[in-house]
Structure 1
Amino acid sequence: MTGTAGGATAAAAAAELFGWWAAALLLQVLFISTLSWPELAVAAAGALLAAAAARAVRRAATARTGGRARLLTALLLFPGALLTDTARLAAATARVLRGHRVTGRFHTVRLRPGSGTAWVCGLLSATPGLYVVDLDPAGPTVLAHTLPGRPTALERALTTGGRR
């Protein structure tokens, strides 16, 4: 029995590492202007280091990776949120350059039940408009810093109850 449980744990760890690696590799490849084999090899090695670090951070924070029910929806909404928040950041930067003050805020945000805390926080933090600062290990509540403006469709899909 122990061998089966250990095998399942090792398989889950390998699947998690592969997921983080694939996501990190995809992001790195998107930022490479001309894709060549040496650059791809360096990106793959860097993504492996990022995957190991992401798993270690997730385990240290006791965050869950499960909750894949909204994962496809979140991945489809991510590009729109990225563009929206990038435009919001550019507008905020332009306002600051014109001498105006732009202030972000800290909000308590409740994640939707059944969501995987690790991937939800990672995906939300990958946009310029919201960054998860802290999470409550006892519940699905996180402290997030946000740019001024309304929540994106991605944030609305992954959270409930709005910003407090």
Structure 2
Amino acid sequence: MDDRPNHDHSAWEEVVLAARERARTRQAVMIERFGLSGDVRYEWSMDDARITWSRAGKVFLAGRLTVIGSVSIPRQSWLWSWANESLPPAALGEIERVRRFGEENGHPVLPWPGFDYHPELVAEARMVAASVLDAEGLWADSTDDVQLHFLVHDLDPVAG
């Protein structure tokens, strides 16, 4: 017998709506508070799950990263970080909590290891992950064939 909750699409929509509003507000506050626009550069490392921002060669902000997942451009598919065995453990943070939240609440997109790329569904999954893990913000980076999606936590100004 399967004792998992059935998917309730209206409940998912409520979760997404709340997560979207929370992410929008937090993202705007993060960008404004720390000046993350204009001539800002950033560097990240999955090995130590860190991101730093700099301006004119001086680091002014550091934070912790959690890799949410990735989009394979050639395959047009999403893969959750918890299902990606090639990622270093530090980069995963508490992403398993997102998978469990999906299982416990009948939101199948969260415990599926991957799915076909649909920009809106990826956006929803990212925002719900940010809400579940209480992230300060979202960040993304792209190469020729992959988009990486991150949560940003524990932002700390760096004295210059």
Please, what TM-score do these two structures have when normalized by structure 1? 0.32
Structure richer in helix, relative to its length:
1
Query: Looking at both structures, which has the greater relative contact order when contacts are Cα pairs under 8 Å and sequence separation is at least 6?
Result: 2
Greater C-alpha Rg: 1
Structure richer in strand, relative to its length:
2
